[in-house]
Structure 1
Amino acid sequence: MGNKHYFIGIDIGAGSLTTTVIDLQGQVVGSASAELTTHSPHAGWSEQDPHDWWHALCGTARQALAQGSLAADQIGAVALSAGAHTPVLVDAAGQVIRPAILWSDTRSRLEAAELKENHGSEIFGIARNVPAPTWTQPQLLWLARHEPDALARTKRLYVAKDWLRAQLTDTWETDHTEAAGTLLYDVQRRQWSDRLCAMIGLDPALLPPLVAVTDVVGQVTTAAAAATGLAVGTPVVCGSSDTSIETYGAGAVALGTGAVKLATAATITMVNAEPGPTASVIHYPFCVPDHWYAIGATNSCASAHRWLRDTFFSGNGMTGAQAFQAMDRDAASVPAGAGGLLFHPYLQGERTPYWDPLLRGDFLGITFAHERRHFVRALYEGVAFSLYDVLQALEAQGKAMTEARIIGGGSHSATWRQIVADVLGISIAMPRITDASFGAALVAAVGAGAFPDLPTAAERTVAFVAHHEPDPRQHQRYLDMHAIYRDAARALFDINHRLSAISPR
């Protein structure tokens, strides 16, 4: 590889794009991020302009190289990751037809319900998942009904990271994890499903060829090099979806391990040998060959944290970061249980285990004794309680989790990390680097031949900076509180639906 001892990972997150450069020891030598704007022109819509991703990549690639004092010809390979099942529709001239619909978009609620009612068991049998507004299949059905001209003009369907990678290579392909994320993929045959396409009237010819996560799919073109500062001919590796890549990049490669992510949404992933038998959680092929992972999510985590900050803690001359720090000190000052205050983080509906976009958030049990600090503690604990719901759904697949890596912006709070360990009752380890772009850079290194395989690359480069063991007494106390949390959530289902009928989101 000559002097090409550095590798770039690029990740499209919900709020920003990050480019990270690592060396062969897994040390970050350069990193840069650029904010992304999510548009919501109608209630329940969440969209981004793919051109914003490209603009962000061009800027952050140059910044990351400059930060590491690296020449472009020192880069051995590039790989990408992004949120799964985010469709980008392209016409015959290669132009993007409309904004990309994100996983958090709920406009296809009726289409998802219709597909589930009419074909639910058949879809699960083929795709090992069931329709919900987060998937590409119901989103495309919505487009067929409400924007038929857009689909009629479509000649190629990409998902987010593949479209962005195509700006580097002028090629068209995706990996099997991303394919599974569209709900148009036959997991047993490992190919696109004509039957799932037929359910929504989609021509399978619009779907890309399938390759392995670590395959080199092309090289940086002359035009892309001029725009990004990368060298012409730099190998570009396929990459995969962010949950797969960040779970891998956190070092969770062994069966029964996984990752807890405290980000815009909160998720738990568990690495398994095969997809589970039930539809209560999502199943994907893992980036590590011959492995799968199950994932469950609570819709609102950092987004709820930010809402609390902006609504109740901003002002007094504090910046956003200072307000978060003050909130964290407040949460740490309150004993477990938040003085009997509960928080259901359903500010944007809920996914696992309820899959109900009409649920609403609440603080329950407020008294005159509660201060602002109790509300922060209750928010930390409420997200953890929702994650316990996710863990129970994952373990209902017949596999137990005893340890997890913790990642995402919320993982920087030692208080929140300990709450998660105590509520879940499992050991928690925080990797030195938690961004998905790090895992993507490792994938690039494996694709370029710097490591023999993905597990070896993780073993040699992933390090940990914090460990948290669950306190048995606190865990039992939280189990008692979670029983109340769960019963209250269920008791409010009908109330939430009636409120949504009166005042839609």
Structure 2
Amino acid sequence: MTISNHLMGVDIGAGSVKTTIISADGRVVGDASMEIATRHPKPGWTEQDPDDWYVAMCATVPRALREAGLSGADVAAVSFSAGAHTPVLLDEADRPLRPAILWSDQRSGAEARHLSERHGEMILATGCNQPNPTWTLPQLAWLQKHEPDIGRKTRKLMVAKDYLRFRLTGEWHTDRTDAIGTLLYDAGNDCWSREICDLINWRLDTLPPVVSPTDIIGTVGSRAAAETGLAVGTKVVCGTSDTSIESFGAGAVESGAGCVKLATAATVSVVAAAPTIHSTLINYPYAVPGLWYTIVATNSCASAHKWLRDSVFAATDDRAFAHYDRAAADIAAGSEGLLFHPYLNGERSPYWDPLLRADFIGLTMSHGQAHLTRALYEGIAYSLRDCLSALRAQGLDMSEARIVGGGSKSALWRQIVCDVLAMPISMPAVTDASFGAALLAGVGAGVFADEISAARACVGIAARHEPDPASAATYTEMFGIYKDAQSRLADINHRLHHVAVGG
């Protein structure tokens, strides 16, 4: 019998689930995606139904197999990725107790402030990160206060990708990256932290065993095989969080490598030999063993573009992105004095302020849709430069970066990021997290010797950008105005928030 070297990766994105199948040389032979609903029951709340993820996987796996001309038996292994921090809480019958609270949810701001003010130093020293509403710890603190029955009924806590793997195998695990992402983990002692869990009265027995991203965690069971089209006994590899797996899948596999991500949120990350512990930075163990990656992030990126397209331009056609992108390319760098702060959902790095608000500054009668689009691209790039400054302040830097995420498909946006950051940018041939997950599946199944071998064998570069000196000079001037305006408007943002909530 011929042993298949085809590999599958499944990623839960902000608005869809995507399945990708690759060959052993990294060629994408089949893929499929399906949208999933995101619900906003109250302002600042963001939730998804975990069972919607599974329904989407059951739909996309057969479609990807058909596109590839393969059967389930042709897949050697499957692995997973998803956004960090998103808790799935199961009852004694292994059913989700409530919708999953996403990383972008802002409801736990008060709990995050309380934990930071009273226990921030201990949490930072133990978990390598500072509490804010993105993390699972404050989310669980909010649940303990507002939905205490959920905590009492919880028997298993999973992070998003782990729920899909659990549905395939019945096995309950997570990897160290997602464990750190809960902010319940003791990084130094490589175990769940009783001290942190006790801060919110969370039980240690609800937390999963922790393994490596490339560990095989069971095989596909008979029911899951019937529902997905995978073969019974297919190897299932743990996987890891999306930002780690995207950077790995982009070929950033050595210390000092940088990566920029233009997705629902935007990030700048650098690979290093150890975490850099500081309240302005985010630290995770990396997909490549022995390395860490440090992230700085802005909350709104492609989500801001979708907001502009849908809510401001009222153009929901899928072709609208390309139309506005082409029009924005005709506008000069600096958008004729129009400036955008992308704080539509508060902000993370470097301000860590959920009350900041977005704005367009400098509007005149001469500005139109193309200016607004370009100013949005530029504003997110300024925010990334702001983020990069937080890395540099702690002695971390990069001389060039790989760029990934849905926004990277725009050549204009890539060049703007290149010019604003004033560094060369390279876009891999495949930028999807599901591609990186498939590579990890190959490492776990023994198709590749290790993570670095997998990346070097399979990652290609589709485009390179060098900074344009004239545009870079314009953006340096505009970035100074961006920073000045941010500091002057912060208090006004807070006052507007209190008016909006009636405080």
Q: Is the shorter-chain TM-score for this pair beyond 0.5, marking a shared fold?
A: yes
Task: Give the conservation status (yes or no) of the 8 Å contact 1:314–1:320.
Answer: no
- The one-letter amino acid paired with 1:176 is R
389-398 or 423-432, larger mean C-alpha shift: 389-398
The one-letter code of the counterpart of 2:310 is D
Secondary structure of the 2:202 match is coil
**Structure 2 match to 1:145:** 145
Amino acid at match of 2:429: R
Deviation at 1:71, TM superposition (A): 1.6
* 1:368 matched residue in structure 2: 365
Q: How does 1:58-137 map to 2 (within 5 A)?
A: 58-137=58-137
Letter paired with 1:327: Y
- Whole-Å separation in 2 of the counterparts to 1:149 and 1:197: 17
- Name the counterpart of 1:250: 250
CA shift at 1:92, angstroms?
1.0
Verify the 8 A CA contact 1:249 1:434 in the aligned structure 2.
yes
Counting only pairs closer than 5 Å after superposition, residues 142-291 of structure 1 correspond to structure 2 as: 142-291=142-291
Match of 1:381 among 378, 387, 399: 378
Aligned-residue offset at 1:312: 3.8
Answering whether residue 437 of structure 2 is matched by residue 440 of structure 1, we say yes
Distance (whole Å) between structure 2 residues aligned to residue 504 and residue 408 of structure 1: 34
CA deviation digits over 1:279-302, x for unaligned, max 9?
211000001011000111111111
> 1:404 corresponds to which residue?
401
1:353 matched residue in structure 2:
350
Distance 1:37 1:258 in 2: 32
Cα deviation digits, residues 174-215 of structure 1 (max 9, x gap): 100000000011111111111111111111111000111100
Alignment CA distance shift 1:124-1:322 (3 Å): same
- Secondary structure of 2:19's match? strand
Cα distance, 1:43 vs structure 2: 1.5
The CA deviation at 1:474 is 2.1
Contact 2:125/2:277 (8 A) holds in 1: no
2:392 alignment partner AA: E
Structural mapping, 1:301-316, within 5 Å: 301-314=301-314
What is the DSSP-based 3-state SS (H/G/I as helix, E as strand, rest coil) of the residue aligned with 1:415?
helix
Question: 2:117 & 2:312 partners in 1: Cα distance?
Answer: 42
* Structure 2 counterpart of 1:7: 7
Please give the alpha-carbon distance, in whole angstroms, between the structure 2 residues aligned to 1:60 and 1:373.
35
Query: 2:424 aligned to 419, 427, 447, which one?
Result: 427
Per-residue deviation, residues 119-147 of structure 1 (Å, max 9, x unmatched): 00111010110100111111111111111
**Does 59-68 or 402-411 show the bigger shift?**
402-411
Q: Are the equivalent residues in 1 in contact too, given 2:143–2:150 (CA < 8 A)?
A: yes
Deviation per CA, 1:255-301: give whole Å up to 9, x if none: 11122111111111111111113121100000101100011111111
* Residue 403 of structure 1: how far off its partner (Å): 1.2
* Residue 391 of structure 1: aligned partner: 388
Q: Which residue does 1:504 correspond to in 2?
A: 501
Q: Give me the whole-angstrom Cα distance separating, in 2, the residues matched to 1:91 and 1:374.
A: 51
Task: State the shift of 1:324 in Å.
Answer: 1.2
On the 8 A contact 1:258/1:270 being kept in 2, the answer is yes
**How many angstroms apart in 2 are the aligned matches of 1:488 and 1:345?**
13
Query: Which residue of structure 1 lines up, in the alignment, with residue 27 of structure 2?
Result: 27
Count of matched residue positions in the alignment of Structure 1 and Structure 2: 502
- Asked whether the equivalents of residues 162 and 174 of structure 2 are also in contact (C-alpha less than 8 Å), the reply is yes
2-structure distance, mates of 1:3, 1:147: 49
Residue 369 of structure 1: how far off its partner (Å): 2.4
- For the residues of structure 1 that align with 2:180 and 2:168, how far apart are their CA atoms? 24
Q: Which runs of 5+ in 2 are unaligned?
A: none
Does residue 294 in structure 1 map to residue 301 in structure 2?
Answer: no
For 1:355 and 1:274, the matched residues in 2 are separated by 23
Partner of 2:491: 494
Post-superposition shift, 1:497? 0.5
TM-score of the superposed pair, with normalisation by structure 1: 0.98
| Pick aligned residue for 2:321 from 321, 324, 342 | 324
d(CA) in 2 for partners of 1:493 and 1:349?
11
2: CA distance, partners of 1:96 / 1:229: 24
**Does structure 1 retain, via aligned residues, the 8 Å contact 2:277–2:283?**
no
Q: What secondary structure sits across from 2:140 in the alignment?
A: helix
Matches of 1:374 and 1:71 in 2, distance apart? 48
Cα–Cα, structure 1 residues 102 and 320, in superposed 2: closer, same or farther, change >3 Å?
same
Q: CA deviation at 1:408?
A: 1.2
Per-residue displacement from partner, 1:79-134 (whole Å, max 9, x unpaired)? Answer: 00000011011111111111100000111110000000100011101011010011
Secondary structure of 1:420 counterpart: helix
Question: Aligned AA for 2:92?
Answer: A
Letter in 2 for 1:374: H
Determine helix, strand or coil for the equivalent of 1:351.
coil
Alpha-carbon distance in structure 2 between the residues aligned to 1:313 and 1:141: 38
Cα deviation digits, residues 410-452 of structure 1 (max 9, x gap): 1111111000000001111111111000000000000000111
Q: Does 2:41 match 1:41?
A: yes
> What do residues 464-495 of structure 1 show as CA deviations (whole Å, max 9, x unaligned)?
11000112332222111101100101100010
Contact 1:92 1:153 in 2 (8 A): yes
Q: How far apart in 2 are the matches of 1:232 and 1:311? A: 46
One-letter identity of the residue aligned with 2:166: A
Q: Write the distance in 1 (CA, Å) between the matches of 2:343 and 2:395.
A: 27
**Matched letter for residue 272 of structure 2:** N
Deviation at 1:368, TM superposition (A): 2.4
Q: 2:453 aligns with which of 451, 456, 477?
A: 456
Three-state SS of the structure 2 residue aligned to 1:267 is: strand
The residue type paired with residue 89 of structure 1 is: L
Is the contact made by 2:162 and 2:172 (CA closer than 8 Å) also made in structure 1?
Answer: yes
Report the secondary structure of 1:321's partner residue. Answer: coil
Q: Name the amino acid aligned to 1:27.
A: R
SS of structure 1 residue aligned to 2:295: strand
* 1:472 and 2:469 correspond: yes
Q: CA RMSD in A?
A: 1.2
> Which amino acid in the other structure matches residue 55 of structure 1?
V
Kept in 2: contact 1:277–1:397 (CA 8 A): no
Q: Percent identity at matched positions?
A: 56
Residue type matched to 1:361 in 2?
Answer: A
Alpha-carbon distance in structure 1 between the residues aligned to 2:394 and 2:439:
30
Any conservation in 1 of the 2:124–2:277 contact (CA below 8 Å)? no
Separation of aligned partners in 2, 1:387 and 1:75: 38
